[in-house]
Each structure stands twice: as structure tokens, then as C-alpha cells.
Amino acid sequence: MMNKSGRKMVVVPCSGIGKPFGTVSREAAYNLVEDLRPDATRLVALSKLVLGDEEARATVAASPVITIDGCKMNCAAKMVRESGGTIAKEVAVQEIHRQHKELRPEGIAHLNPEGQQLARVLAEELVTEIDALDRTDCKEEGSHA
């Protein structure tokens, strides 16, 4: 089963290995792709874009993309652009954390409960973006009829 428009939103999370905000970005992506919108999203690993994987680059170039970055370097967003992708939504974990300071992520391999909750909050906010894009795509398709 696909989303209403038939297009899947690609999600590219940060690879910030060794940093709690990087782990939050990946956990949010997993929440989104595996639990909240499995039929409307697809995960592409940032490492595949960095390594120039042709399939990953083609997927990113052919679909709207959500990037989730864990730090100010914005590696996910930069690599998506360099790979020919169009970013529909660019998210910084730090911005979400500023809105939810009580959810301080700790841990790297395994996030603490607050970090897990921050990832879930971020994923749930992205659901709104995905659903809005889906509605927009349906309207555009209907107007071409």
C-alpha cells in the first residue's frame, strides 16, 4: 500500500556517530519509516550518498526528501543537494530540542528515555509534513485531469 499520491517521501538522517543528537536523528527516522508512515516513506542512509551509491542517488533525485541533521554542519541536507535531490523539509534536531528542553538526549548506542521521546516528538512533527505533502500531491494530480 502506498500513500495517496503514490510517491514515497525519502528520509535521510544524519550519520552523527558518537553524538546524541545524531542518534536522535536516526531514531526519529526509524520511528517515521518503520512505525508512523511506513507506506509513505523510505529511508536512505547518508553514508550511501557520501560513497556515491548510484541507487541511493537516483532515489534521492527522484523523490521529495526530508533531511534530519544532528548538528550545524547539515551533512544530510548538503549531500542530498549534491546528489541532485530536492529537500521538501529540512530539520535540525537542535531546533526541536530547543522547543523541548526537558527532553535532554544522552547516550550514543542507546538513547536514554528522554532522547527516545525527543526522537518520537520529532518523528510525529514530520508526520504532519508528510501528510500535507500527500494532500498537495493529490490536489495537483486532480487539477491535471
Q: How would you write the pLDDT of the chain (145 residues) with one tens digit per residue?
A: 344 556 789 999 998 888 999 999 999 999 999 999 999 999 999 999 999 999 999 999 999 999 999 999 999 999 999 999 999 999 999 999 999 999 999 987 889 999 999 999 999 999 988 888 777 665 554 444 3
28 with 41: CB under 8 angstroms? no
What pLDDT does 131 receive? 87
Distances (CA, A) of 142 to 6, 63, 139, 145: 13, 19, 5, 6
Q: Are 128 and 136 in contact (CB under 8 A)?
A: no
Amino acid at 24: V
Place of cell 529540512: 90
Q: Cα(38)–Cα(36) distance, rounded to whole angstroms?
A: 6
Q: What is the pLDDT of residue 108?
A: 79
Q: What torsion, rounded to 10 degrees, do the Cα atoms 26, 76, 136, 38 define?
A: -30
Q: What is the pTM of this model?
A: 0.87
Q: What is the pLDDT of residue 139?
A: 53
Q: How far apart are the first and last CA of the chain?
A: 23
Specify burial of residue 88 (Cβ count, 10 A radius: 0-12, 13-18, 19+).
middle
Q: Residue 1: what pLDDT? A: 35
Q: Which domains does the chain have, with CATH numbers?
A: 9-131 (3.40.50)
